[in-house]
Amino acid sequence: MSQSNPPNKSKSQPLHPKRKLDLIRSLNSNKVLELLRPGSFVTLDNQPNDLPPFQVIHCRGGLCKVRQQAWGKYVQWEVEHRRLKSA
């Protein structure tokens, strides 16, 4: 009866030799972002008092699309989520 030898693990190759993990450090990783729902109103971090709040269309991937009601439905502005706060 012959005994089979297990494969030698020291000669094994990595599964994906060309892949590498790139880590990206967030500048403000300790800041919790507020949940901004579509239809809610927000202001910019440096917004003048005489400018009305913006309406949130949607937020995705750290960016939010907002608009002014006077602009009409199809005029939108994309703003970083961290720059917005609830009105």
Looking at this protein, which amino acid is placed at residue 54? Answer: F
pTM above 0.85, yes or no: no
Q: Supply the range of the domain harboring residue 39.
A: 32-87
Residue 22 lies in a domain: no
Q: From CA 11, how far away is CA 77, in angstroms rounded?
A: 55
State the pLDDT confidence band at 33, using cuts at 50, 70 and 90. Answer: confident
Residue 27 lies in a domain: no
Q: Write the CA distances from 84 to 14, 28, 59, 78, integer angstroms.
A: 44, 15, 11, 11
61 pLDDT more than 80? yes
CATH of the domain at 64: 2.30.30
Domain count along the chain? 1
The model's pLDDT over 8-30, given as tens digits with 9 standing for 90+, comes to 555 555 555 666 555 555 555 55
Residue 14 lies in a domain: no
- Computed over every residue of the chain, the mean pLDDT equals 79
